Amino acid sequence: MKARAHVRISGYVQGVFFRYHTRELAQRLGLQGWVRNTPDDRVEAVFEGEKEAVERMLEFCRRGPSGARVTDVETKWEQPHGEFSGFEVRYGR
């Protein structure tokens, strides 16, 4: 079953390669979507793909890479759109 999650991750999550590790894992899990830093020092991402893979990605987001200190993950479940053709890091805030 396909799923889509839009997340905002708070804590010490910028400057610790969060986006890089997110992209690497998302690609390994076969997910589509994007990840970016936000002006309020959070990381925002959209994950779309098989529900089990999206849930595994959310598990990673709750802990982050080594060096990160995640304090909160806001998750909004949405209807899958099928609009992505891969997983990318978006730049610019």
Q: What angle do CA 57, 63, 64 make, to 5 degrees?
A: 70
- 19 included as an active-site residue: yes
CA 59 to chain centre: 10
Cα 5 to Cα 28: distance, rounded to the nearest angstrom: 17
Catalytic pick among 4, 23, 37, 42 = 37
Q: How far is residue 64's CA from residue 81's CA, in Å, rounded to a whole number?
A: 26
Q: Distance of CA 18 to CAs 23, 30, 78, Å?
A: 9, 18, 23
Choosing from 19, 63, 90, 93, the catalytic residue is 19
Q: Catalytic site residue 93?
A: no
**Catalytic annotation, residues:** 19, 37
